[in-house]
């Protein structure tokens, strides 16, 4: 039995696909072993969202080859789409498998092993697979309209299951490489999604998180007569018996309309936790980013959610140091963020991506200024998220228990409320995956509140 090890880099869509590839290998008889252990096959599902992601992808590929020079090292995913030619020349890489080719992983490996065996016998393998001759399975992703139907029966996290329902993006934000690595919008058939949710719920998952590359575009690629929206999909999933919670992945602000919000508010399994990607609190910067909303419009979307839900958790992404961002524009963003009062913010320093429009824009910002601005927003983020957690103290809520937790040598079980606030109860056997009800009493530290039954 061949041993395989997988490593995931990047977003929840990638981790879903890595899980699905692992399950394909298991069904084909591979033994899955931890990455640190010796394996015959290493699969690295790469990411290319920033230069750092590229570097980490290369590092993991080289680490795999170092772990076992005889092993077959497979580079899969977005970095393959972005830098396929470069990767093919990389001595550490034997196979490159692009996006929309992952369902073929097992047959690609089998062909490779057969080819290697045949040619080794003819002692011509050295020539065929000489360093810099990685075999490639990559398509022009911008051409495909087919959704690659990977699926899962379980996921490593035992309480919350991220499921992929959409791929690709048509937005072309000026800083983003993803439309070039993931292609155009492609949506998964709703019946396939519902079947997967039923399988996962039947095997004990209480919460699912809908995820995609541009989730808000779900269904827009279906033929006119079959056109569906994300809301339609959510409604179908909501009918699944035994499922307790539906959490949404990152959303495009424009999807938040009065109708959308009030419809969601009518579905009791929906978690009032909305990640609305903002990127900048300055209209001029948003224009240069090719984001299609204004700061006024964005704030209005937040108010729509705050009208439809009681104290919803609103989280976001912000890029600092985008080309041309003056100190004044940055301060405008900072004031805007303070005004919106986010629960959490993911703060990114602008990362130049070759091939994007922003990469050739004038007035690129020095790394030192990016670091300063990022630190300023991270301090603000810490302050705002504690304030939001405290806003729930004294309220009755429910927590999906996930894992053990120790604080000052005291043993607890910890989990998340529907608003994604962390809460703990005294440890008891068998609480994992249980939804506990109680009152949030006090903050045990900046992150965790104590839940009293």
Q: Return the number of the residue (169 or 197) whose C-beta is nearest ligand SF4.
A: 169
In the set 83, 173, 278, 401, which binds ligand SF4 (CB under 6 A)? 173
Intra-chain end-to-end CA distance of the chain, in Å: 49
Asked if 213 touches ligand SF4 (CB under 6 A), the answer is yes
Tell me which residue has tokens 């949710």: 197
**Residue of 86, 120, 172, 284 that binds ligand SF4 (CB under 6 A):** 172
Contact call for residues 345 and 377 (beta carbons, < 8 A)? yes
- CA R_g for the chain: 23
Q: Does 178 bind ligand SF4 (CB under 6 A)?
A: yes
Does position 253 bind ligand SF4 by CB under 6 A? no
Least Å distance between CB 8 and ligand SF4?
A: 18
CB of 175 to ligand SF4, least distance (A): 7
Identify the H or E element spanning 98: none
Angle of helix 327-340 relative to helix 295-308, nearest 10 degrees, comes to 10
Contact 14, 8 (CB under 8 A): yes
Residue range at the interface with ligand SF4 (CB under 6 A); choices 101-109, 145-153, 170-178, 334-342: 170-178
- Would you count residue 355 as binding ligand SF4 (CB under 6 A)? no
CB of 74 to ligand SF4, least distance (A): 25
* Size of the residue set binding ligand SF4 (CB under 6 A): 9
Which runs of E-coded beta strand occur in 276-368? Answer: 313-320, 344-349
Measured CA to CA, the distance from residue 155 to residue 177 in angstroms comes to 28
Q: Which of 73, 152, 169, 200 binds ligand SF4 (CB under 6 A)?
A: 169
| Residue written as token pair 């590929």 | 61
With contact defined as beta carbons under 8 Å apart, do 209 and 162 qualify?
yes
218 or 309: whose CB is closer to ligand SF4?
A: 218
User: Cβ of residue 336: shortest distance to ligand SF4, in angstroms?
Assistant: 19
Q: Which stretch binds ligand SF4 (CB under 6 A): 112-120, 174-182, 227-235, 387-395?
A: 174-182
Q: How far apart are CA 373 and CA 369, in angstroms?
A: 6
- C-alpha span between 343 and 350 (Å, rounded): 22
Interface with ligand SF4, residue 83, by CB under 6 A: no
Task: Pick the stretch among 98-106, 172-180, 360-368, 397-405 that binds ligand SF4 (CB under 6 A).
Answer: 172-180
Under the binding rule (CB under 6 A), the answer on residue 6 touching ligand SF4 is no
Q: Of 24 and 173, which has the nearer Cβ to ligand SF4?
A: 173
**How many CA within 13 A on the CB side of residue 10?**
28
Q: At a CB cut-off of 8 Å and minimum separation 6, what does 261 contact? A: 304, 305, 307, 308, 309
214 sits near ligand SF4 (criterion: CB under 6 A): yes
Q: Which of 23, 119, 144, 171 binds ligand SF4 (CB under 6 A)?
A: 171
Interaction of residue 176 with ligand SF4, rule CB under 6 A: yes
Given a contact cutoff of 8 angstroms between Cβ atoms, the answer to whether 109 and 41 are in contact is yes
Residues 6+ apart with CB under 8 A from 285: 279, 322, 324, 325, 329, 333
- Comparing CB distances to ligand SF4, the nearer of 361 and 439 is 361
- Residue 345 in contact with ligand SF4, rule: CB under 6 A: no
Residues that bind ligand SF4 (CB under 6 A): 169, 171-173, 176, 178-179, 213-214
């Amino acid at each position: 039995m061949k041993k395989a090890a997988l490593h995931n880099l990047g977003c929840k869509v990638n981790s879903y696909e890595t899980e699905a590839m692992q399950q394909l290998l298991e069904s084909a008889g591979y033994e899955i072993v931890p990455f640190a252990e010796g394996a015959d096959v290493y699969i690295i599902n790469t990411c290319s969202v920033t230069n750092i992601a590229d570097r980490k992808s290369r590092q993991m590929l080289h680490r795999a080859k170092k772990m076992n020079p005889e092993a077959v090292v497979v580079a899969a995913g977005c970095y393959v789409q972005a830098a396929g030619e470069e990767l093919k020349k990389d001595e550490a890489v034997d196979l490159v498998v692009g996006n929309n080719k992952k369902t073929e992983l097992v047959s690609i490996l089998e062909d490779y092993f057969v080819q290697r065996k045949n040619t080794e016998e003819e002692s011509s393998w050295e020539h065929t697979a000489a360093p810099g001759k990685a075999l490639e399975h990559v398509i022009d992703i911008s051409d495909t309209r087919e959704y690659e139907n990977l699926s899962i029966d379980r996921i490593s996290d035992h309480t919350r299951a991220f499921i992929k329902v959409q791929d690709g993006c048509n937005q072309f934000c000026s800083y983003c490489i993803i439309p070039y690595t993931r292609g155009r919008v492609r949506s998964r058939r709703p019946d396939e999604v519902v079947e997967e949710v039923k399988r996962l719920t039947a095997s004990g998952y209480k919460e699912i998180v809908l995820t995609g590359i541009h989730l808000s575009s779900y269904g827009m690629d279906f033929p006119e007569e079959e056109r569906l929206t994300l809301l339609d999909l959510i409604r179908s999933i909501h009918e699944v018996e035994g499922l307790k919670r539906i959490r949404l992945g990152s959303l495009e602000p424009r999807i938040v309309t009065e109708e959308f919000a009030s419809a969601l508010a009518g579905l009791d399994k929906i978690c009032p936790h909305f990640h609305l990607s903002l990127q900048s609190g300055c209209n001029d910067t948003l224009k240069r980013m090719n984001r299609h909303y204004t700061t006024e419009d964005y704030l209005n979307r937040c108010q729509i959610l705050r009208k439809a839900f009681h104290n919803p958790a609103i989280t976001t992404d912000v890029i600092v140091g985008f080309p041309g961002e003056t100190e004044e524009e940055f301060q405008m963003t900072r004031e805007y963020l303070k005004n919106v009062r986010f629960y959490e913010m993911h703060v990114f320093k602008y990362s130049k991506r070759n091939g994007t429009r922003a990469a050739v824009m004038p007035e690129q910002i020095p790394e030192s200024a990016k670091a300063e601005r990022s630190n300023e927003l991270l301090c603000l983020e810490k302050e705002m998220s504690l304030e939001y957690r405290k806003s729930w103290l004294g309220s009755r809520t429910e927590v999906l228990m996930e894992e053990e937790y120790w604080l000052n040598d005291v043993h607890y079980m910890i989990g998340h409320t529907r608003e994604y606030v962390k809460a703990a109860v005294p440890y008891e056997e068998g609480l994992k995956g249980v939804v506990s009800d109680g009152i949030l009493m006090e903050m045990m530290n900046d992150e965790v509140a104590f839940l009293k039954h």
